[in-house]
Amino acid sequence: MVKTLGIFADKPTASTGMAIVNANLAHHLCRLDDELRVIYFARFGQDESFAKMGLPFDGYEVVNCVGGVWKSVLVKDIIQHYKIDIAYSEDDWFSAYGLIKATKQTKTPFYFLSPIDSLPIQYEARRIFKECKKVFVPNQSYRYISNGVYLPHAVDWTIFKPVRPKASEKFTFLWIGRDEKRKALNRAIMAYEKIYKKYDCRFVVRTNWGEGTLSSFTNRYIKNKDLPIIQDRMMDCPHEYLAHIYSACHAYICSSKAGACEMGILEANACGLPTLVTDWTFMNENVKNGKTGFLIPVESYDVQPKVKKLFGRGRIWGNISIDRLAEQMIWMIENQKKAGRIGLDGLLWVRENNWENIAEKLFDNIMES
Q: Are residues 119 and 183 part of one domain? A: no
Per cent of the chain over pLDDT 90 is: 90
Flag whether 159 is in a domain: no
Res. 1 pLDDT band, cuts 50 70 90: confident
SS3 57: strand
Flag whether 217 is in a domain: yes
pLDDT digits (tens, 9 = 90+) for 232-251: 999 888 889 999 999 999 99
The H or E element containing residue 135 is strand 134-137
pLDDT digits (tens, 9 = 90+) for 79-107: 999 999 999 999 999 999 999 999 999 99
| Burial readout 138-152 (b: 16 or more C-beta within 10 A, e: otherwise) | bbebbeebeebbebb
Q: Are residues 321 and 358 part of one domain? A: no
SS3 215: helix
Q: Are residues 253 and 286 part of one domain? A: yes
The pLDDT value given to residue 213: 93
Flag whether 164 is in a domain: no
A 10 A CB-CB count for 104 gives 13
The pLDDT value given to residue 236: 80
The pLDDT value given to residue 214: 95
Q: Are residues 275 and 181 part of one domain? A: yes
Task: Show Cβ contacts of residue 241 under 8 Å, excluding neighbours closer than 6 positions.
Answer: none
The pLDDT value given to residue 54: 96
Flag whether 161 is in a domain: no
Predicted confidence (pLDDT) at residue 204 exceeds the cutoff of 90? yes
Q: Are residues 326 and 216 part of one domain? A: yes
Flag whether 53 is in a domain: yes
Q: Are residues 133 and 197 part of one domain? A: no
Give the range among 124-128, 130-134, 302-306 with minimum mean pLDDT. Answer: 302-306
Predicted confidence (pLDDT) at residue 171 exceeds the cutoff of 90? yes
Flag whether 162 is in a domain: no
Q: Are residues 127 and 39 part of one domain? A: yes
Name the residue type at position 18.
Answer: M
Task: Please report, in angstroms and rounded to a whole number, the separation of the first and last CA atoms in the chain.
Answer: 13
Tell me the C-alpha to C-alpha distance, in Å, between residue 97 and each of 147, 163, 182, 351.
18, 42, 25, 36
Q: Are residues 331 and 183 part of one domain? A: yes
Give the count of domains, the chain. 2
Res. 310 pLDDT band, cuts 50 70 90: low
Q: Are residues 263 and 199 part of one domain? A: yes
Predicted confidence (pLDDT) at residue 307 exceeds the cutoff of 60? no
Flag whether 203 is in a domain: yes
Q: Are residues 225 and 176 part of one domain? A: yes
Predicted confidence (pLDDT) at residue 308 exceeds the cutoff of 60? no
Query: Which residues on adjacent β-strands are paired with residue 43?
Result: 10
> 124 with 246: CB under 8 angstroms?
no
Flag whether 165 is in a domain: no
Rg (CA), the chain: 21
> 106 with 118: CB under 8 angstroms?
no
Q: Are residues 228 and 116 part of one domain? A: no
Give the mean pLDDT of 344-368.
95
Res. 257 pLDDT band, cuts 50 70 90: very high
Query: Which residues on adjacent β-strands are paired with residue 40?
Result: 7, 62
Q: CA 54 to CA 70: how far, in whole Å?
A: 18
Predicted confidence (pLDDT) at residue 312 exceeds the cutoff of 70? no
Q: CA 262 to CA 329: how far, in whole Å?
A: 20
CATH code: domain of residue 67: 3.40.50.2000
Which residue from 165, 213, 162, 163 is spatially nearest to 186, judged by alpha carbons? Answer: 213
A 10 A CB-CB count for 226 gives 7
Q: Which residue range(s) make up the domain with 124?
A: 3-154+354-366
The pLDDT value given to residue 223: 96
The pLDDT value given to residue 313: 67
Average pLDDT, the chain: 95
Per cent of the chain over pLDDT 70 is: 98
Q: Are residues 360 and 304 part of one domain? A: no
Give the mean pLDDT of 141-160.
96
pLDDT digits (tens, 9 = 90+) for 274-290: 999 999 999 999 999 99
What sections of the chain are H helices per DSSP?
Answer: 17-29, 72-82, 97-105, 123-130, 185-195, 213-225, 239-247, 263-270, 322-334, 336-350, 355-366
Predicted confidence (pLDDT) at residue 227 exceeds the cutoff of 60? yes
Q: CA 63 to CA 52: how far, in whole Å?
A: 8
Task: Rounding to the nearest 10 degrees, give the CA dihedral for residues 246, 162, 160, 32.
Answer: -170
The pLDDT value given to residue 305: 74
pLDDT digits (tens, 9 = 90+) for 337-354: 999 999 999 999 999 999
